Amino acid sequence: MVLGAYILVTLGRLTGQSALFQWMNLIGAAGFLVNGWWHGALPSATLNLIWMLFAAGALWTIWKHKGSSTSAM
């Protein structure tokens, strides 16, 4: 999922500011987090938890901007 998001941005199909890109990163990182935890790879699991937090923060920002632009009408 993370690789797919990167490929779509590289090909110009998505932007780094798109909600879909951030959701793909969040879901992909969640999968890596579970895998890392399951196999006892705590550094990898921790890195992917941080990756998820960045994606969640970006989604929050996108949501807040979307809400503020529609409330002005």
- For every residue of 35-65, DSSP letters joined together read HHHHTT-HHHHHHHHHHHHHHHHHHHHHHHH
* Predicted confidence (pLDDT) per residue in 7-38, tens digit: 999 999 999 999 999 999 999 999 999 999 99
Q: How many domains does the chain have?
A: 1
- Is 72 a member of any domain? no
Residue 42 burial by Cβ neighbours in a 10 Å radius (0-12, 13-18, 19+): exposed
pLDDT reported for residue 66: 86
Predicted confidence (pLDDT) at residue 53 exceeds the cutoff of 60: yes
- Is 71 a member of any domain? no
Rg (CA), the chain: 14
Predicted confidence (pLDDT) at residue 71 exceeds the cutoff of 60: no
Q: The whole model's pTM is what?
A: 0.85
pLDDT reported for residue 70: 57
Residue-number span of the structural domain to which 45 is assigned: 2-63
- Is 31 a member of any domain? yes
Q: Where are the beta strands (DSSP E) in the chain?
A: none
